[in-house]
Homo-oligomer: A and B are copies of this chain.
Amino acid sequence: MPKVGMEPMRRKALVDAALRVIGDHGSLSVTMSEIARKAGVSPALAHHYFGSKEQLLIETIRSLLKQLRDDAVTALKAAPTPRARLSAVISVSFHADQFAPQTIAAWLAFYAEAQRSEETRRFLVIYARRLRSNLLANLKPLCPVDVAEHIAEGVAAMIDGLYIRQSLGSTPIGAEASIALTEDYVTIQLDRHPASLSEAGAAPSSGLSGHLLPEGRRESEPKHRKDI
């Protein structure tokens, strides 16, 4: 029953299947056959559309990152104040899809892969920068710049750490407790270092930082890179 216009559907099915298989297996050492089977097609077709296993894996992490970005954009648009946006960033990190064991396992597998694959590392660096940028943009109106950077590092580390601890499945502090822990960190840090007058009114109108919007390239980066 082959029709024309199958390509986008097949690609999506294969990427989704790859994500599920990787999440279940907890590793990138999964076979094209298994992915293809889960997607309901033959292994040969996976190669036909993606050319190589590596390419399919790249598309898979790209999709993982896109999902996270979309969630973040939605949550940030609904938050009116910098402080609310900070909470939105934290909340999104621990919400449902992202904090599911399989998704966490997939993230972890990609972190490991980043040690070998330049392309994979690039994507994870983008995630790290985006998180930092989102935090920083909304911290700056609330405290001095150097303090904002300090807090941003701390929050980002805590989020990633809670992820990795969750991956072990022992002492499972849930999503709510994770959010509470991170929020508490932000709160007490901000209490310590109240905003200076000069930066109190400098909040950007949209609250969406540069890294979130479809972005023009920053000067220091190489060009000819496909955006996620």
Contact = CB atoms under 8 A, between A and B. Distances in A.
Interface string A150-165: 1001101111111111
A168 interface: yes
Contacts of A26: 112, 114-116
Interface stretch (A7-15, A47-55, A79-87, A169-177): A169-177
A153 B171 CA distance: 10
A108 interface: yes
A213 interface: no
Contacts of A177: 153
B27 A167 contact: no
Nearest to A124: B168
A128 B170 contact: yes
A96 B129 CA distance: 26
B116 A27 contact: yes
Given A27-B112, A29-B29, A116-B27, A156 B165 contact: yes
Interface stretch (A35-43, A61-69, A70-78, A181-189): A181-189
**Chain A interface category by residue count:** 35 or more
Interface in A188-218: 188-189, 192
A31 to B, nearest CB: 13
A27 B158 CA distance: 24
Contact of A168 (B128, B159, B168): B128
A12 to B, nearest CB: 25
Interface-central residue, A29, A164, A184, by most chain B CB under 10 Å: A164
A228 interface: no
A156 B161 contact: yes
16 contacts: A25-B115, A26-B114, A26-B115, A26-B116, A108-B111, A108-B115, A109-B115, A114-B167, A121-B169, A121-B170, A125-B168, A129-B170, A153-B173, A154-B184, A156-B161, A188-B189
